[in-house]
Amino acid sequence: MTPQDRFIFVTGGARSGKSTFAERLAAQLAEPYGGRVTYLATSETNDVEMTARVTAHRAARPAAWTTVECPLEVPAAVREHASTAATSGSAASGGSAGPPVFLLDCVTFWVTNLLFAGGAFGGSAPPDEGFNYDKDLLPADEERAASARVSAGVGGLLAARAETGATLIAVSNEVGLGVVPEYPLARLYRDQLGWANQRLAAAADRVYFLVAGFPLDVTALAVSPLTQSPLKESDQ
């Protein structure tokens, strides 16, 4: 990581250490400016288990961090809190304002929320028994609308980061490394998260992939498929 790394994308499998690594990065980047980080939380507490998880995560964050609940409007949250975060950091450090530091955790939940922002697929509520939709194909117009919401959200986030000059660490999951999902809705989710991850990673200054707690610097390891040489900035 270098001082020029203003957008860092962190991905990996479940329980691979992504969030812990991202939190350490955020603390390190914010330390010169009073240690203040704005944590963008995208999960929703719809059941007891998720409520317990969110409560535990909140308790573990440093007191100087600010948590912003934004299950859908992540770009708006970046714009709204960028100037406040920079000013607070300047006052706390007693020096000049540094770039506001945002930690988005996570893109995975955000994409889920965007997919369902238009209501349940097929015009009906989720099944009462169990948590799986049936295997019928999804309505094409609803698929297109859901995909458009994800694309617009990702584009809006990249624009907000560029406009504000903020430092952003975004955490996501790699969900496409296993079997092809059985249900159309699950396949739609896998595809949309995969495209979102690709788009965010392509725009990032640094990309890390976590394996069993060990971060791999994907940016340094990346090679061009044609020349087998490291990708140049113009190739990304």
* CA gap 172, 137 in Å, rounded: 27
CB within 8 A of 89, min separation 6: which ones?
30, 33, 34, 36, 97, 98, 100, 101
Beginning with the edge strand found earlier in the chain, give each strand of the sheet holding 38-41 in spatial order: 66-69, 38-41, 101-105, 167-171, 7-12, 206-211, 214-217
57 is catalytic: yes
* CA gap 188, 115 in Å, rounded: 9
- Greatest pairwise CA separation for the chain in angstroms: 60
Catalytic residue among 17, 27, 57, 73: 57
User: DSSP class of residue 235?
Assistant: G
- 133 burial type by CB count under 10 A (0-12 exposed, 13-18 middle, 19+ buried): middle
Under 8 Å between Cβ of 46 and 73 = no
3-state SS of the chain: helix, strand, coil percent to 5? 50, 15, 35
Catalytic positions, written as ranges? 57
